[in-house]
Amino acid sequence: MNSLATVFIFNCVVISIAVLVHYEALYRLALLLPCLRIAPRFRVLVGVAGAFLAHVVEIWIFAAGYYLMLKWDTESELGGNFNGSLLDCSYFSFTNYTSLGFGDIEPFGHIRFLSGLEGLTGLILIAWTASFMYIEMQKFWVADRKKL
């Protein structure tokens, strides 16, 4: 997996899977939330929980990508406070996806590209979730006002 073309394709696949998971999660939530026979404010909480779960799944997709890349690509390495475990890959992924970036684990080699792309992807997907939740909350607030 040392060629740049292979690394590029691998990165595109990881990002595509994460974006598709997010799309499907928001699509399913958009179908589910209006059908719930609970108070609108609780529907919003279900939406937040569903979106949160989607983000966690996406973070683990990137973590698996890091783990695989470290096993297959001899030019990729995560240095610093890193022991090579999938759990450490998930921690690194959580800090990248949220753009928190503690800096205690540092990428070297080809894996740097994936870690940068994860930060951008996380930013976009978190913003997508925020706009989705705002639209859903608007629908429920309108429904609540009509009851008054």
Q: What is the pLDDT along the chain (148 residues), one digit of tens a residue?
A: 468 999 999 999 999 999 999 999 999 999 999 999 998 889 999 999 999 999 999 999 999 999 999 999 999 999 999 999 999 999 999 999 999 989 999 999 999 999 999 999 999 999 999 999 999 888 877 766 666 5
Q: At what angle do helices 40-72 and 86-97 cross, to 10 degrees?
A: 120
CA distances from 25 to 32, 44, 65, 117, 138 (A): 10, 15, 20, 21, 19
Residue 37's pLDDT is what? 93
Report the CATH architecture of 4-35+45-141: Orthogonal Bundle (1.10)
Residue 39's pLDDT is what? 86
Residue 101's pLDDT is what? 87
Phi, psi of 99 (to 5 degrees): 60, 25
Number of H helices, E strands in the chain: 4, 2
Residue-wise burial string across 88-118, b where 16 or more C-beta atoms lie within 10 A, e elsewhere: bbbbbbbbbbeeeeeeebebebbbebbbebb
Q: How many residues does the chain have?
A: 148
